[in-house]
Amino acid sequence: MKNISLNINDTIYNVDIKEEERLIDVLRDKLKLTGTKEGCGEGECGACSVIMEGELVNSCLVLAFQAEDKKIITIEGVKEEYLKQAFIDVGAVQCGFCTPGMILSGKSILDKNASPSKKEIREGISGNLCRCTGYNKIVDAIHLASKIRGEN
């Protein structure tokens, strides 16, 4: 066991980990931050997306020790209420399993480009799979959020 320090949603956690433990397992099982979902466990679906040091990453592919002392944002730490509300307003939330990863993808897109085109949004969420919505409503939600953000 090794003790590491994780900065998650602006809170410092000191946690004992096994060297082979993945970040998603520490988030869900040890820290009880269960908004991050595990879909495929292979980095293909994006359900486990978190933002680490400003970059969107699949937490199922990150070993917990690799996240030590890095700034991590999970769905629980997303402060952009307008983004979450945009998903609700356009009906982009159906089963909800992919939603945390999609919202974090949307945040990552908007953090880098305040006014993305729908094409840029589609490219930005390309690492996230959704079986329910067909993506149009998700793209619309992120596009709406960019408009709301621009008004504020």
Domains 2-76 and 79-151 share a fold: no
79-151 is a CATH 3.90.550.10 domain: no
Domain boundaries, the chain: 2-76, 79-151
Q: Class of the 2-76 domain?
A: alpha beta
Residue 48 CA to residue 58 CA, distance in Å, equals 5
- Looking at residue 94, what is its pLDDT? 87
38, 79 Cβ separation under 8 angstroms: no
Q: Which segments of 27-134 does DSSP mark as H helices, in order?
A: 81-89, 99-112, 118-124
Q: Which two tokens stand for residue 63?
A: 């070993």
Classify residue 85 by its DSSP letter: H
- Looking at residue 55, what is its pLDDT? 97
pLDDT per residue, tens digit, the chain (152 aa), is 999 999 999 999 999 999 999 999 999 999 999 999 999 999 999 999 999 999 999 999 999 999 999 999 999 999 999 999 999 999 999 888 999 999 999 999 999 999 999 999 999 999 999 988 789 999 999 999 999 987 76
